[in-house]
Amino acid sequence: STIRYIAFSLPYNMVLYVKQHPGAVGIFPKTFYRDVLSIPNVRIIDPSENNYKLCKRAEAVVTLTSTLGLEAALLGVKVLLLGDVFYNVHPMCKRVYSYEEITKELLEGYHRPDTNELIIMNNSFWDWYFRNTIPGNILKSEANGLALINKLESVL
57-110 confidence digits (pLDDT tens): 998 999 998 999 999 999 999 999 999 999 999 999 999 999 889 888 888 877
- CB of 18 within 8 A of CB of 46? no
Between 6-15, 67-76, 135-144, the lowest mean confidence (pLDDT) is in: 135-144
pLDDT at 7 over 70: yes
pLDDT score, position 23: 83
CA-to-CA distance for 52 and 140, rounded, in angstroms?
30
Give rounded-to-5 percent helix, strand, coil for the chain: 50, 10, 35
